[in-house]
Amino acid sequence: MSYKVAFTDFDLQFVSMHDEIMQAIQAVLVKGDLILRSPVADFESSLADFIGVRYAVGVSNCSDALRLALLACGVEPGDEVITVAHTFVATVAAIVQIGGVPVLVDVGDDYNMDLETLEAAITSRTKAIIPVHLNGRMCDMARLLEIACRHGLLIIEDAAQALGSKFAGRAAGSIGLAGCFSFFPGKILGAIGDAGAVVTNDERLASKLRLLRDHGRASRCEISSWGYNCRLDALQAAVLSVKFKHVTEWIAYRRLLASRYHTGLRELREIMLPHPPAEDSKYFDVYQSYVIRASDQRGLSAFLQERGIEALIYWSRPLHRQTALGLTHFRLPKTEALSKLVLSLPLHVNLTLEQVDYVIKNLREFYSTRSE
């Protein structure tokens, strides 16, 4: 069906940048720079500058970024890695794939790791923590760093949803030993397929990551470790470099849309809104998603659907309730409660203010008809 307000803008983004994107693709093809080389190196250096880190290593996607980061940081089979269940499955899958043991903790009101319950989950086998900066808002990294330092634990940031987001002036991905990013089309900076990166300030870690992503090849003749093929595709890198020029302006627009939602919806007592963007806040949120909590999640989403608005329910069954994954021993009451309430409203850079107002109007209507 064609929506009045669609959840994604992949088609519109392409149309609005058609010439630039096609020229960038053509330039790569004409030179024959198909694997790594300058398209990838150029994108890596823009990304490192933007985040304020020394190194960025382009990889195939963020799922691989997380897996390679865990390996490069020295997380070994049997090591426990603490993360959350209220995340995309890839965060936890990366831990399992390297032979690690995922330990899941609950989340707080801002959907990020509940640092109150984190310490109780630390054991003598804990090696690392993966905070997930969900919906474009960072975890409280000051507190997390303090806990991690006290217990001698590594931090690997899952910053897939937080490109450009900041905590106390420091960018997502730049605080832990490594930060992992996704350029899946629906992310803040989206490729025309899959793409990702790991960023770090640690030179040795960056070299290890470069080896791991490319079969362990140190040069044409020397293989210095086992590795994988997890390279960032050169065509994707070239397209990402084109889009990167707009990222700051896009983030500002996402914040504007979030404020518009906030102003239009804050009086509705039936729903809970995310934090509004505030200039003087410790948190600089980038609104990868605009997630509200509503008591009749399914009814509301169906009502909006009828009005041509594509609002989506993500993760209505949390990972520790997915019996196939073998994580059912965790008890995470806040995660379970949230998963029955969350609804993601459309928010992307091709959304107009009029479309946001239309969503607001329909949300109000839903609640006014029900309270009669």
Ligand X SMILES: *Cc1c(COP(=O)(O)O)cnc(C)c1O
Is 135 a binder of ligand X (CB under 6 A)? no
CA gap 195, 234 in Å, rounded: 10
Task: Kindly state the smallest distance separating residue 341's Cβ from ligand X, in Å.
Answer: 19
Q: Which of 112, 126, 161, 362 binds ligand X (CB under 6 A)?
A: 161
Q: What are the helix (H) ranges across the chain?
A: 10-16, 18-31, 37-51, 62-72, 89-97, 115-118, 141-151, 203-213, 234-244, 247-265, 297-306, 333-339, 353-371
CA gap 96, 102 in Å, rounded: 7
Residues in 188-247 that interact with ligand X by CB under 6 A: 194, 196
Residue 269 corresponds to which tokens in the numbers above?
């007592």
Q: In angstroms, what is the C-alpha Rg of the chain?
A: 21
Is 156 a binder of ligand X (CB under 6 A)? no
Task: Kindly state the smallest distance separating residue 255's Cβ from ligand X, in Å.
Answer: 19
Helical axes 18-31 vs 234-244, angle rounded to 10° = 140
Task: Kindly state the smallest distance separating residue 365's Cβ from ligand X, in Å.
Answer: 31
Q: Which of 13, 83, 91, 112 binds ligand X (CB under 6 A)?
A: 91
Residue span binding ligand X (CB under 6 A) among the ranges 29-37, 82-90, 103-111, 360-368: 82-90
Residue span binding ligand X (CB under 6 A) among the ranges 12-20, 60-68, 273-281, 362-370: 60-68
Question: In terms of CB distance, is 285 or 366 closer to ligand X?
Answer: 285
CA gap 288, 273 in Å, rounded: 14
Tokens 């608005």, residue located? 309
Q: Do 149 and 123 meet the contact criterion of CB atoms below 8 Å apart?
A: no
Task: Kindly state the smallest distance separating residue 14's Cβ from ligand X, in Å.
Answer: 19
Number of residues this chain uses to bind ligand X (CB under 6 A): 15
Is 182 a binder of ligand X (CB under 6 A)? yes
Q: Where does this chain bind ligand X (CB under 6 A)?
A: 61-63, 87-88, 90-91, 132, 158, 160-161, 182, 184, 194, 196
